[in-house]
Amino acid sequence: MNFIKPYLPMDPLLVFAIVMFCILVVPKLFEKMHLPGLVGLLLCGLMLGPNGLNLGSGHTNHLFSDIGKLMVMFFAGLEIDYDDFILNKYKSLIFGILTFLLPLAAGMIIGLSFGYSLNSSLLIGSLLASHTLLAMPILIRYGIVNIEAVNVTVGATVFTDVAALIVLTACISLHTIGFAPKPLIIRLVGVIIYLPVLLFVAKRAAKFFIPRMQDNENNKTILMIVIMIVAALGAEMIHIEGIVGAFIGGLAVGEVIHGSKTKAKLETLGNTLFIPAFFIAIGALINPSSFLKLSGSNLVFVILIVGGLIFTKFLASFFASKILQYKKAEMLTMWSLSMPQVAATLAAALVAFETKNADGVRLISEPVFDTIIILVTITSILGLTLTERFAKKLKTVDVGH
């Protein structure tokens, strides 16, 4: 039920104008209150979305937010030094394994203790195991993306998101048709083949076309957007989350456009339009009524899930920092950056909720789905706020990497 009935005509142009006004004004207001501007955009989405004023969004605004979601990861790839990424791949794997397995185990234990089946509990654990680099725009703004600890966290994201989606595939197969290894093997083979091929092809395409476009920065910018979208669509065709493809695409072309006018123009376009629209769209998914439903065992379940996620992500960052010999500021940044559960988590939770077996039983129940929405809300706001705080400290610390 909407808290406020719509009283404005839901004309797409009017909604677009309101969204643009929010993007222009709200982040600055929140920054003056020493809060991340992105948190303000999340709250704008809540106010304008179906659980607030319900102004409607239209296909155009959905398109902008979808592109913004891809740009968050594409820009993350652009900012990563390719040589450093390859150099740190084993470090990324260490953190990726820790930040995947610890929340996975916690989710499974919590699910089983509340009477959910082993398969459903495994799925709940996988929802906690992935994360979204929601706060990357903050790190880009502070110019600390190429610090090794950040590189390692970004690389770990690829591992956690892909691994979580593979678990999702296995759980869906077990729930709907029983044990069937073929879909899982197909997805694994797709990942192993697609990501290296994408990295090679996207890099070659950028190196071939960019010099031939001479000083036409508009065409170069369009080419980058095309590479990003094609990379994402290719990933989705083999049932990998599109943001993983977008990240690999950005990583591939980053070296080609590093320090160029094309990169600056692309970032201006993304950071002033598409990425803010994405954050507003996420805010629109927040349902305050989910908080009002909490009572008894449901409240305990939510507290354990949210607390378990935050604690295990911290443990993963702590253990990884000890193994990799990172300083406290680096460890805290890794923790806050890996905390938000948004894109991959929401996508997987929705698919799991809509998946039913022959008896009509859902893979995850409505209380679990509501809990995931609450988890997304809390970790998004907390992750953004903490990253803003830790990034300031990290910028002043000589990390020595």
Domain ranges of the chain: 38-395
User: Helix 242-257 crosses helix 58-79 at what angle (to 10 degrees)?
Assistant: 50
User: Residue 46's closest CA among 251, 262, 234, 281?
Assistant: 281
pLDDT of residue 1: 39
Percent of the chain scoring above 70 in pLDDT:
88
Give me the residues of the chain with pLDDT under 70, please: 1-10, 36, 56-61, 178-180, 183-184, 187, 241, 290-297, 343-344, 347, 397-401
CA dist 299 to 173, 295, 304, 376, Å?
30, 5, 9, 16
Fold of 38-395: Na+/H+ antiporter like fold (1.20.1530)
pLDDT of residue 230: 93
User: Residue 224's closest CA among 198, 245, 205?
Assistant: 205
pLDDT tens-digit readout, 40-54: 887 888 888 777 777
Instruction: Tell me which residue has tokens 């706060």.
Output: 135
The answer to whether 360 and 151 have CB atoms below 8 angstroms apart is no
Residue 340 DSSP class: -
Query: Residue 288: how many CB atoms within 10 A of its CB?
Result: 12
User: Residue 44's closest CA among 283, 270, 380, 275?
Assistant: 283
Q: Which long-range contacts (CB under 8 A, 24 or more apart) does 203-210 make?
A: 203/252, 203/253, 203/255, 203/256, 206/252, 206/253, 206/256, 206/257, 207/256, 210/256, 210/257, 210/262
pLDDT of residue 6: 45
pLDDT tens-digit readout, 100-123: 999 999 999 999 999 998 988 998
The answer to whether 121 and 111 have CB atoms below 8 angstroms apart is yes
Query: Residue 368: how many CB atoms within 10 A of its CB?
Result: 24
CA distance 48 to 65: 14
The answer to whether 308 and 330 have CB atoms below 8 angstroms apart is no
pLDDT of residue 344: 67
CB proximity list for 39: less than 8 A, separation 6 or greater = 30, 381, 384, 385
Which token pair is 25? 């004004």
Which token pair is 188? 């694994």
User: What is the DSSP secondary-structure string of 99-151?
Assistant: HHHHHHHHHHHHHHHTT--HHHHHHHHHHHH----TTHHHHHHHT-TTSHHHH
Query: Residue 306: how many CB atoms within 10 A of its CB?
Result: 19
User: How many residues in the chain?
Assistant: 401
pLDDT of residue 3: 42
CA dist 135 to 216, 336, 379, Å?
32, 8, 11
End-to-end Cα distance, the chain: 52
Task: State if pTM tops 0.85.
Answer: no
Which token pair is 181? 């290894």
CA distance 400 to 168: 39
